[in-house]
Amino acid sequence: MATLSERADAIEHEMSMELERRAAERRPIRSPIYVSGIYDPASPRHDMFDALADGKTFLMGPDPRIPPMPEKPTLMDFFRLRLGYTAHLLQSAKLARDSGQDEKVVLACLLHDISVIGFISGDHGYWGAQMVEPYVDEEVSWAIRAHQILRFFPDPSVGYEYPEAYIKYFGADFTPEPYIHEAYARIKDHKYYMTGRLICLNDYYAFDPNVTVDIEEFEDIIGRNFRQPAEGLGYDHSPSAHIWRTMNMPTRAL
Ligand SMILES: [Fe+2]
Ligand SMILES: [Fe+2]
């Protein structure tokens, strides 16, 4: 007789096999940016074209292995169904809110690393800012873009030091590339400088597993400060709609 947990495992295994089978009928595609280094970027993509030889087709819609999104997805839907580990964003936003920061700062903190957990890590401040730009005050997107630069530069006037965690992450010998220094020179006297700096100050580097914050806590701030398009994120023809569609259907072939 199988124990309860053995039966639960068997059911779970069967479910994941079924998901694999459903995905396998149409081959999900990983874009070159995600497989370069695993494959030689110049080589023919055998992982893709073998699927055709097997009589399969490429996936051209939602990936059945990840939860379906509503027809008109909201920012909250992306938080719940598409973004990766959101705790860092939620904890940073909570820090900003609990220290009495303006709602724009809280929203900027809530969204500052959205690209890291939903899209692309490299140059994440720029990608993240571009993603939210059509829907937020320019101060918010400016600050999200700037935090990527400012986090490397101490500001003793507000007690911000080079993050200890970065020595662990990037090594003690890491120095930012020249474009980072150039960008810093361009933004350090900007009128929104302090908003970008406040993201760094509330950036919750500790990633405390014991602090749980729910996205619902920020529903009202999002409602007042994020212009949710009626058509749904991805379908409003804004300059960044395509980024949201890609996050919605990350393995669509074309
Ligand atoms: Fe960041
Ligand atoms: Fe962060």
pLDDT tens-digit profile of 150-193? 999 999 999 999 999 999 999 999 999 999 999 999 999 999 99
Q: How confident is the model at residue 21 (pLDDT cuts 50, 70, 90)?
A: low
Ramachandran region of residue 83, left (φ > 0), alpha (ψ -120 to 50) or beta?
Answer: beta
Q: Rounded to the nearest whole angstrom, what is the distance from the C-alpha of residue 195 to the centroid of ligand 1?
A: 14
Q: Which residues of 61-78 are buried (b: 16+ CB within 10 A; e: fewer)?
A: ebbbebeebeeebbbbbb
Angle at 75 between CA 91 and CA 77, to 5 degrees: 95
User: What is the 3 state secondary structure string of the chain?
Assistant: CCCHHHHHHHHHHHHHHHHHHHHHHEECCCCHHHHECCECCCCCCHHHHHHHHCCCEECCCCCCCCCCCCCCCCHHHHHHHCCCCCHHHHHHHHHHHHCCCCHHHHHHHHHCCHHHHHCCCCCHHHHHHHHHHHHCCHHHHHHHHHHHHHCCCCEHHHCECCCHHHHHHHCCCCCCCHHHHHHHHHHCCCCCHHHHHHHHHHCCCCCCCCCCCCHHHHHHHHHHHCCCCCCCCCCCCCCCHHHHHHHHCCCCCC
For ligand 2, the distance from its centroid to the CA atom of residue 113, given in whole angstroms, is 5
Of the ligands numbered here, which is closest to the C-alpha atom of 202? 2
Using the mean position of ligand 1's atoms as its centre, give its distance from the Cα of residue 113 in Å: 5
**Ordered structural domains, the chain, with CATH:** 4-58 (no CATH), 75-248 (1.10.3210)
Statement: residue 19 has pLDDT above 70: no
Which chain residues have CB less than 5 Å from ligand 1, an ion? 113
Q: Which ligand is nearest to the CA of 143?
A: 1
Ligand that comes closest to the CA of residue 146: 1
pLDDT band, very low/low/confident/very high, at 49 (cuts 50, 70, 90)? confident
- Give the ligand whose atoms come closest to the C-alpha of residue 149: 1
| Predicted pLDDT of residue 111 | 98
215 close to 92: Cβ distance less than 8 angstroms: no
| pLDDT exceeds cutoff 70 at 206 | no
Among 22, 36, 59, 18, residue whose Cα is nearest residue 249: 59
pLDDT score of 162? 94
212: confidence class by pLDDT, cuts 50, 70, 90 = confident
Q: What pLDDT was estimated at residue 72?
A: 98
143-157, 182-196, 205-219, 228-242: which has the minimum mean pLDDT?
A: 205-219
254 C-alpha vs ligand 1 centroid, how far in Å? 29
Confidence (pLDDT) at 227: 98
Query: Is residue 59 pLDDT above 60, yes or no?
Result: yes
Contact 33, 193 (CB under 8 A): no
pTM for the full predicted model: 0.88
Ligand located closest to 89 CA: 2
